[in-house]
Amino acid sequence: MNDHYQLLIIGGGPAGLAAATTASGQGISCALLDEQPAPGGQIYRSIESVPDTRAQTLGTEYLRGKTLAAAFRESDVEYYPETRVWSLNNGREIGITHKSQSKIITADQILVASGAIERPMPFSGWTLPGVMQAGAGQILFKAAGVIPSDGVVLAGSGPLLLLLAWQYLQLGVDIKVILDVTPLSNHLFALPKLPRALLAHHYLTKGLVYQRDLSRAGVKTKIGASNLQAAGDDLLKSVNYRHLGREHTIETDLLLTHFGVIPHIWLTQSAGCKHQWDNSQQCWRPRHDEWGNTSIEGILVAGDGAGINGARSAEHAGRIAGLQALFELGILTESERNKQAKNDQKWMKADRHIRPFLEAYFAIPQSMLATTDNETIICRCEEITAGQIREAVETGHGGSNDVKYITRCGMGACQGRQCANSVAHIVADAGGEAVSESSHYRGRPPVAPLTLKQLASLTKENRQ
């Protein structure tokens, strides 16, 4: 690995792969770094190694990743899998660990295509063994063919929950119930956005087919379920919820939850790029222009890390950002860039017709975003409860960063990934800064876990 590249791409999902393929053959030094062992990102995880039968179950959309990964493999871009990026600064220096060796490298252009994470959602009992995110369930299947053997309860909201339920149905998994926490009022709020969504009707059709198949197979979906609680002493034993005004309990040792996805912004945060609260997506995202330029020169973003728009848009945005990097490097003229980007811009625009409808339909209810159960742990690493956060606000600490200093929430191994959004919502609910005005936890390197040994492996020049 060189110490300097003209273009560095962080992330090997659809956005990063498309950007890399665009930059290939242009005579520039370019490398793609990804912490996964193989290309594909979240949606196309294990795409190169998955057995055919498993790939069929994952659907035609998943298979699309094969073409992307193959084109990337044919490119002249240097590829460093199992490489974790743990820092990025405004001087375009990044800290990485590859095969236990840490290194600082620099680039003229850096594209952050770090994707999304599932929205962490604290509720009573969410830290019990046996409660996992639905994405983790899907990762187990994509990467290792592992599925639940004794039945599962699925709970939450969003297209990925429905997709996983449908995939499990194909595999014969016993789905005990789907607890859909989407409030019925969302259906009404989403209605005015339906005509535009019809322009991208293939997404709606797909969702309706999943629902039809699940219902035909007798899988029960409780729409508008609320008061979700996971119960058990040391392990999950049952799930409690309210539906149509009545309390229910269902016994299970596996609960998979999903509450949508939010951009992975820890690298752009630590670099100091400007971010904004996106009310419709209920999350922060980096500010960027139509080419992916952030507020810091030479740092670009593309894909779900720039704002949630799904895999197809991520691919288009990756190509557009790749062209922008080539333009900045003097390889393409402005008119060549504009000409080559036209098709992707057109398709991206068409693909995004569905987003306003999805965002309104699957908006997470405020009662879940800011839990009023003060016993619930919000920061898993430091074991800080909702009550402690409210108490901090009551004693005059009215912003997320103030609450962080006083309680240590967000200072653990995950560096706030699991609690940043929830803390902001609870702070606002307790009378502190409104979420739209409050600032995200300040980003500090390392943004990903780094051992002392890995840090010490930095070469002498790197340590200065």
Ligand X SMILES: Cc1cc2nc3c(=O)[nH]c(=O)nc-3n(C[C@H](O)[C@H](O)[C@H](O)COP(=O)(O)OP(=O)(O)OC[C@H]3O[C@@H](n4cnc5c(N)ncnc54)[C@H](O)[C@@H]3O)c2cc1C
Closer CB to ligand X, 123 or 203, in the complex: 203
Backbone phi, then psi, for 358, in 5-degree steps? -60, -40
Closer CB to ligand X, 94 or 389, in the complex: 94
Backbone phi, then psi, for 217, in 5-degree steps? -80, 0
When binding is defined by CB under 6 A, the residue of 153, 160, 255, 384 that contacts ligand X is 160
Whether 225 and 182 have beta carbons less than 8 Å apart is answered as: no
Query: Smallest Cα–Cα separation from 28: which of 268, 317, 318, 327?
Result: 327
Closest distance of CB 373 from ligand X, Å: 26
Exposure string over 322-357, b if 16+ CB within 10 A, otherwise e: bbbbbbbbebbeeeebeebbeebbeebeebbbbbbb
Tell me which stretch binds ligand X (CB under 6 A): 9-17, 144-152, 328-336, 380-388.
9-17
Half-sphere exposure of 220 (CA within 13 A, CB side): 10
Whether 88 and 299 have beta carbons less than 8 Å apart is answered as: yes
Closest distance of CB 393 from ligand X, Å: 30
- For position 305 contacting ligand X by CB under 6 A, the verdict is yes
- For position 307 contacting ligand X by CB under 6 A, the verdict is no
When binding is defined by CB under 6 A, the residue of 34, 328, 344, 382 that contacts ligand X is 34
Closest distance of CB 88 from ligand X, Å: 9
Closest distance of CB 56 from ligand X, Å: 14
Whether 230 and 125 have beta carbons less than 8 Å apart is answered as: yes
Closest distance of CB 45 from ligand X, Å: 8
Residues of span 234-263 touching ligand X by CB under 6 A? 261
H or E element at residue 277: strand 275-278
Closer CB to ligand X, 41 or 292, in the complex: 41
When binding is defined by CB under 6 A, the residue of 228, 311, 326, 430 that contacts ligand X is 311
User: What residue type is assigned to position 76 of the chain?
Assistant: D
- For position 12 contacting ligand X by CB under 6 A, the verdict is yes
When binding is defined by CB under 6 A, the residue of 7, 8, 15, 121 that contacts ligand X is 15
Closer CB to ligand X, 197 or 430, in the complex: 197
When binding is defined by CB under 6 A, the residue of 180, 304, 359, 382 that contacts ligand X is 304
Closer CB to ligand X, 73 or 339, in the complex: 73
| Helices and strands per DSSP (H, E), number in the chain | 18, 21
Query: Smallest Cα–Cα separation from 12: which of 88, 73, 63?
Result: 73
Tell me which stretch binds ligand X (CB under 6 A): 108-116, 191-199, 240-248, 404-412.
108-116
Whether 142 and 42 have beta carbons less than 8 Å apart is answered as: no
Closest distance of CB 464 from ligand X, Å: 23
Count, residues near ligand X per rule CB under 6 A: 36
Query: Smallest Cα–Cα separation from 102: which of 346, 429, 453?
Result: 453
Could you give the CA distance from residue 14 to residue 304 in angstroms, rounded to a whole number? 10
Site string for ligand X, 114-143 (x = CB under 6 A): xxxxx----------------x--x-----
Could you give the CA distance from residue 305 to residue 464 in angstroms, rounded to a whole number? 30
Whether 20 and 70 have beta carbons less than 8 Å apart is answered as: no
Site string for ligand X, 46-85 (x = CB under 6 A): --------------------------------------xx
Tell me which stretch binds ligand X (CB under 6 A): 49-57, 243-251, 307-315, 424-432.
307-315
Whether 436 and 255 have beta carbons less than 8 Å apart is answered as: no
Pure H helices in 243-310? 266-271
Backbone phi, then psi, for 228, in 5-degree steps? -65, 130
Q: Which residue has the tokens 């995200």?
A: 440
Closer CB to ligand X, 138 or 407, in the complex: 138
Closer CB to ligand X, 10 or 179, in the complex: 10
Q: Which residues bind ligand X (CB under 6 A)?
A: 10-16, 33-36, 41-43, 84-85, 113-118, 135, 138, 160, 163, 261, 264, 267, 303-305, 310-311, 314, 448
